[in-house]
Amino acid sequence: MLFAITREISSAFPHCQLTHLPRTPIDIERARAQHDAYEWVLVELGCTVRRVESDANMPDAVFVEDIAVVFPQGAVITRPGAESRCTETAGVADALARFGLPLRQVQEPGTLDGGDVLVVGREVFIGASSRTNAPGIGQLRRVLAQLGYSVRAVPVHGCLHLKSAVTTVAPQTVLINRNWVPAEAFAGLTLIDLDPDEPQAANALLVGNVVMYSAAFPKTRARLEQRGVRVKTVHVDELAKAEGGVTCCSLVFER
Ligand code: CIR
């Protein structure tokens, strides 16, 4: 069965972390409505959705992707690179434990955000970003080596996470912004470039054989469809004001 863990939008959401975007007013009710619609699309795509509660001490909790990396053999709870987000780990660990998944945890001095982890088959790309440091990458590399995955560290510049710059849209195929990550790191994969007018457009969530994708990027969407990718659009512009995209709002896994 396919599951998706999501997390309630905190009442403190307007006080979220921001790194590359200026702060603009966030309409929390509109954000919640967009988040509900996002969850319904996950259901349409075959997921059973489990929404974890949040509270006023975790403004960024909705971006649950950053708090864990889930593999069929177990999950790694991260140690988020933004200190304000460390309050988020316990609730996600509890939720994942209910699925019977063995849990490991990134330890100090490592920091790692799940948004920096891109799995393509047996290969795992980990972004060296402002949130994910070398000890964090080293710790995940050791865990994944035991599970038979190879790991490649990728420098990330100009955006928050690796998955702001590159995501999977079909088997062995990624959508990429080459200005933020070096394309050579993904040699051997099929690369689809985003439309240059839409630099934020690389974040797509592949569920089964359908890509969930923000309605804000029609030009890149057309490119994806020309390449035979099936796309389902969602309106997530209120969530994007907090620097989140479609991958950030769920942890999707088979169980
Ligand atoms: C943060 O800065 O942590 C949040 N405001 C946005 C996190 C987005 N997460 C992601 O791209 N995986």
The DSSP code sequence of 8-47 is: PPPTTGGG---SSS------HHHHHHHHHHHHHHHHHTTE
Average pLDDT, the chain: 98
**Is 16 part of the annotated catalytic residue set?**
no
Q: Output the pLDDT for position 106.
A: 98
Can you tell me which atom of ligand 1 is nearest the CA of 113?
12
Can you tell me which atom of ligand 1 is nearest the CA of 82?
3
Intervals of the chain under pLDDT 70: none
Query: Distance between CA 86 and CA 108 in Å, rounded?
Result: 12
Q: How many A from CA of 176 to the centre of ligand 1?
A: 18
Q: How many A from CA of 156 to the centre of ligand 1?
A: 14
Tens-digit pLDDT profile for residues 154-178: 999 999 999 999 999 999 999 999 9
Phi, psi dihedral angles at 233 (to 5 degrees):
-90, 150
Q: Output the pLDDT for position 159.
A: 98
CA distances from 194 to 5, 187, 217, 222 (A): 28, 17, 9, 10
Tens-digit pLDDT profile for residues 56-92: 999 999 999 999 999 999 999 999 999 999 999 999 9
**Is 248 part of the annotated catalytic residue set?**
yes
* Strand ranges inside the chain, DSSP E: 2-7, 47-52, 68-71, 74-77, 103-105, 117-120, 123-128, 150-155, 166-170, 173-176, 190-193, 205-207, 210-214, 230-234, 251-254
